[in-house]
Amino acid sequence: MGQPEDPEDVRIDLPAEATSAAEARAFVAAAVSRWGLEPPDALPLLTSEVVTNAVVHTESRWVQVRVQRTDGRVRVEVTDTSDVVPLIRKPDPESPGGFGMWLVAQLARDWGVDEIAEDGKVVWFELALAPT
């Protein structure tokens, strides 16, 4: 028999397609709701940006989204099979789009990129949860 799922550490595999950002947003929001907490305002936006970055800027065929609750924070991780580290670009009125990771850097409590030896990377961010 498999181990029971930890409700404070859940994950989903999604195809690397444009529709996956919406699926990831719904999955992350549902996880936080199951904890009986209100999702932080920036959670849907940052989830979309990190998933979209993996879908658009890598050749991955899938992405994995992981949501964890730890020490008053929600941590979202997006794993893909590319070793290309996302770039942070400041918004430029003459070049719309492409600044999702800048938003992550501005709005997240913490964020980073962890390389997976020969298998890709994990881009993650953390947001504070409202005290209960």
Q: Tens digits of per-residue pLDDT, 8-31?
A: 999 999 999 999 999 999 999 999
Would 84 be classed as within a structural domain?
yes
Q: Residues 14, 62: contact at Cβ < 8 Å?
A: yes
Would 30 be classed as within a structural domain?
yes
Would 98 be classed as within a structural domain?
yes
Would 3 be classed as within a structural domain?
no
Residue 3: per-residue pLDDT: 46
How many domains, the chain? 1
Would 1 be classed as within a structural domain?
no
Q: Residues 118, 132: contact at Cβ < 8 Å?
A: no
Would 27 be classed as within a structural domain?
yes
Residue 5: per-residue pLDDT: 61
Q: Average of pLDDT values for 67-83?
A: 94
Q: Tens digits of per-residue pLDDT, 35-56?
A: 999 899 999 999 999 999 999 9
Q: Tens digits of per-residue pLDDT, 79-130?
A: 999 988 888 888 777 777 777 899 999 999 999 999 998 789 999 999 999 8
- pTM of this prediction? 0.90
Would 2 be classed as within a structural domain?
no
pLDDT(71) > 70: yes
Structure tokens at 49: 């940006």
What is the distance between the alpha carbons of residues 132 and 127, in angstroms, rounded to a whole number? 15
Domain interval for residue 59:
9-128
CATH code of the domain containing 19: 3.30.565.10
Strand partners, 64: 13, 79
Residue 118: per-residue pLDDT: 78
Residue 1: per-residue pLDDT: 44
Would 40 be classed as within a structural domain?
yes
Q: Which long-range contacts (CB under 8 A, 24 or more apart) does 111-117 make?
A: 113/85, 113/86, 115/83, 116/79
